[in-house]
Amino acid sequence: MHNHRTTITQFIIEEQRHIPGATGDFTSLLNDVVTACKVISNLVNHGALVGVLGAAGTENVQGEDQKKLDVISNEVFLKTNEWAGHLAAMASEEMEEVYQIPSQYPRGKYLMTFDPLDGSSNIDVNVSVGTIFSILRCKGNCVNPTAEDFLQRGTEQVCAGYALYGPSTMMVLTTGRGVNGFTLDQNIGEFVLTHPNMTIPADTKEFAINASNMRFWETPVKRYVDECLAGKEGPRGKDFNMRWIASMVAEVHRILTRGGVFMYPLDSKMKEKGTEGKLRLMYEANPMAFIVEQAGGAAITGQHRILDIQPSHLHQRVPVILGSKNEVELIAKYHQEMQ
Ligand code: AHG
Ligand code: MN
Ligand code: MN
């Protein structure tokens, strides 16, 4: 007898049965998201063979150089999700304005934000990248939603997830009932449940930060990292390991798998530029914070829980410190002591 494997479609339908009054709309939306990620995975996988590597020669709203794959993945995500009638609008890292559903299609009751390709500086060097998405309910104007309609706290997310295009392609999801991971079986073209109930160990000996910014860090982050680096002989009494992939999806995935802390903190260079962080709240920090909390970890800016932030604009940036609960709490304590 062959072993039954749970596909992501089966999993989502079974999840839906726990939600009273569910119409199947959300299930169907997630199916489209899954399809979009499969298409992006295929493009990322074929890389130079299909001519998708290199720069697009354009800049996005954040003033960052776009890669060809940033632009293509954005297009794939929009086209795969716009037609089915589940969404009222979308917002993306690669688009300044809210994306309205084209007039030939019906509008739905959900809003979606996404980072079509996260870690895109890794594309040309063949290192893991990913896609991040967050689904909100449309509460106000669902005909032509504006940026205002998206500005909901992270606690309001209905679902968050990411696809990781690594040695294998994976999809990790939460709808607020824990975190589950699926691996793409290329032979049957389906994501299969391989990592049920992912949890982050509360303690860790591993941290991730771009240490080239060290001279700009604030005291609490400097203190935390110094203490980790002091190892066994230092105040922590144990040796720490360090990683930096420069791809938040890959970083969060490692933490979900074996614990750790990821930091992109506020620093003096950002303050000078008038920005409040590197990562974007609506399509990087919030979805990842939702996933991390659902897996038993914690996610803060330093001073505040990320999911509690009232967003003020669509492309808002925030400092991010997330991962193993006890470590994040220690870093929060160092921030409180600074005040
Ligand atoms: P994106 O490719 O979507 O712009 O995001 C990249 C982000 C994040 O994934 C990563 O953790 C960080 O930027 C890397 O920053 P550095 O280049 O400073 O290392
Ligand atoms: Mn990103
Ligand atoms: Mn991106």
Q: How would residue 2 be classed by pLDDT, with cut points 50, 70 and 90? A: confident
Instruction: Tell me what pLDDT residue 60 has.
Output: 85
Instruction: Tell me what pLDDT residue 252 has.
Output: 98
Tell me 64's DSSP state: P
**Looking at ligand 1, which residue's alpha carbon is closest to its atom 17?**
246
Q: Which long-range contacts (CB under 8 A, 24 or more apart) does 91-97 make?
A: 91/147, 91/150, 91/282, 91/283, 91/314, 92/116, 92/283, 93/60, 93/61, 93/62, 93/280, 93/283, 93/284, 93/315, 94/60, 94/61, 94/66, 94/70, 95/60, 95/61, 96/60, 96/61, 96/315, 97/147
Using N-to-C axis directions, what is the helix angle for 219-229 and 325-338, rounded to 10°?
130
Q: Are 286 and 202 in contact (CB under 8 A)?
A: no
- The ligand 1 atom at the shortest distance from the C-alpha of residue 251 is 11
Q: How far is the CA of 223 from the centre of ligand 3 (A)?
A: 30
Percent of the chain with pLDDT over 90: 88
**Looking at ligand 1, which residue's alpha carbon is closest to its atom 18?**
210
User: Which of the following CATH numbers is that of domain 8-195: 3.40.50.300, 3.40.50.10490, 3.30.540.10, 3.50.50.60?
Assistant: 3.30.540.10
Beta-carbon neighbour count of residue 303 at 10 Å? 13
Instruction: Tell me what pLDDT residue 178 has.
Output: 97
CB of 248 sitting under 6 A from ligand 1: yes
pLDDT over threshold 70, residue 63: yes
Does domain 206-338 match CATH 3.40.190.80? yes
CB of 247 sitting under 6 A from ligand 1: yes
Distance between CA atoms of 306 and 104, rounded to whole angstroms? 37
- Which pLDDT tens digit goes with each residue over 17-53? 887 778 889 999 999 999 999 999 999 999 888 888 9
CB of 246 sitting under 6 A from ligand 1: yes
Distance between CA atoms of 155 and 263, rounded to whole angstroms? 21
Residue located via tokens 């400097």: 222
| Residue among 27, 12, 42 nearest 189 (CA) | 42
**Looking at ligand 1, which residue's alpha carbon is closest to its atom 2?**
119
| Residue among 24, 72, 28, 23 nearest 50 (CA) | 72
Mean pLDDT of all residues in 241-259:
98
pTM of the model: 0.97
| Candidate from 57-61, 151-155, 161-165 with smallest mean pLDDT | 57-61
User: Best substitution site from 279, 280, 321, 322 to test ligand 1's pocket, by max atoms within 8 Å of Cβ?
Assistant: 279
CB of 121 sitting under 6 A from ligand 1: yes
User: Best substitution site from 113, 210, 242 to test ligand 1's pocket, by max atoms within 8 Å of Cβ?
Assistant: 210
Using N-to-C axis directions, what is the helix angle for 25-46 and 68-81, rounded to 10°?
150
CB of 120 sitting under 6 A from ligand 1: yes
- The ligand 1 atom at the shortest distance from the C-alpha of residue 247 is 9
Q: Are 200 and 258 in contact (CB under 8 A)?
A: no
Distance between CA atoms of 216 and 67, rounded to whole angstroms? 28
Q: How far is the CA of 142 from the centre of ligand 2 (A)?
A: 27
Sheet holding 129-137, edge to edge: 99-100, 87-92, 110-118, 129-137, 159-165, 169-174, 179-185, 190-195
CB of 115 sitting under 6 A from ligand 1: yes
- Which pLDDT tens digit goes with each residue over 213-246? 999 999 999 999 999 999 999 999 999 999 999 9
| Residue among 128, 114, 113 nearest 44 (CA) | 128
| Residue among 264, 265, 246, 236 nearest 327 (CA) | 236
CB of 119 sitting under 6 A from ligand 1: yes
Residues with CB under 5 A from ligand 2 (ion): 115, 118
Ligand closest to the CA atom of residue 216: 1
User: What ranges do the domains of the chain cover?
Assistant: 8-195, 206-338
| Residue among 41, 145, 98, 24 nearest 283 (CA) | 98
- The ligand 1 atom at the shortest distance from the C-alpha of residue 121 is 2
| Residue among 197, 173, 150, 164 nearest 31 (CA) | 173
CB of 92 sitting under 6 A from ligand 1: no
Q: How far is the CA of 248 from the centre of ligand 2 (A)?
A: 7
Instruction: Tell me what pLDDT residue 1 has.
Output: 64
User: Best substitution site from 118, 216, 318 to test ligand 1's pocket, by max atoms within 8 Å of Cβ?
Assistant: 118
Q: Are 93 and 114 in contact (CB under 8 A)?
A: yes
